[in-house]
Amino acid sequence: MKANEIKPGVLYHAYDEELLEQRKKVQEALKQMKQGEEQQVLKELLGSWHDDCEMCVPFHFDYGENIFVGHRFHANFNAVFLDEARITFGDDCLIGPNCGFYTASHPLDSALRDQMLETCAPITVGSHVWFGGNCVVLGGVTIGDHAVIGAGSVVTKDIPPYALAYGNPCRVIRMLASVKAEER
């Protein structure tokens, strides 16, 4: 099984031989990456990557091919992407240090967990979204355009566009005024 064959919401064996090999290959490529080679390696490993994007090292992901970013994407140090399902970011997203995006989940049933079975759900982030440091976003979450997620938040549910949200669990604190580009 390849990472792009994992179906959201369907159990799969996390230690499938082909998945293990794919994760090992990605980790080796990341370890061998020399400073200055990040852009080329990210172009090769991620589902989409643009020259105007930046990801500060170190960063971590399982497969890469399920990560899709828009233009002017920036992830600060220690970003973690468990991309068993698709993780999508729109344009102009800013990710603070130590943020994690986790599409993978384990069954509540310990007998299934003991078999190394997992499930996953995609994460979708709109454009112009800012995450403060130490945020965690769980699978199945959609975050709307222009949202701000405060530092230390654990996002377990959808966040609408133009929302200021923070906390554990993350919740909408107030709505932000929309500003038209021509008014900036």
- What is the number of alpha carbons within 13 Å of residue 75 lying toward its C-beta? 27
Residue 1's alpha-carbon distances to 16, 23, 72, 142, in angstroms, are: 7, 12, 33, 27
Q: What pLDDT is stored for residue 36 in this prediction?
A: 64
Q: What pLDDT is stored for residue 35 in this prediction?
A: 55
Q: What pLDDT is stored for residue 42 in this prediction?
A: 86
Q: What pLDDT is stored for residue 182 in this prediction?
A: 41
Active-site residue set: 106
d(CA 40, CA 28): 15
Q: What is the pLDDT of residues 86-115, one digit of tens each?
A: 999 999 999 999 999 999 999 999 999 999
Q: What pLDDT is stored for residue 29 in this prediction?
A: 77
Residue 22, Cβ neighbours under 10 Å: how many?
A: 19
d(CA 125, CA 178): 18
d(CA 39, CA 69): 13
Antiparallel, parallel or unpaired: β 67-68 and 12-13? unpaired
Pairwise pLDDT comparison (33 vs 6), residue with the higher score? 6
Q: Copy the structure tokens of residue 45.
A: 């490993």
Residue 155's alpha-carbon distances to 38, 118, 127, 136, 137, in angstroms, are: 28, 20, 17, 6, 5
Q: What is the pLDDT of residues 127-159, one digit of tens each?
A: 999 999 999 999 999 999 999 999 999 999 999
Residue 86's alpha-carbon distances to 67, 108, 140, 181, 182, in angstroms, are: 6, 22, 10, 30, 33
Write the CB contacts of 183 (distance below 8 Å, at least 6 apart in sequence). Answer: none
Q: What is the pLDDT of residues 23-44, one digit of tens each?
A: 888 777 777 765 567 778 888 8
Q: What is the pLDDT of residues 58-89, one digit of tens each?
A: 889 999 999 999 999 999 999 999 999 999 99
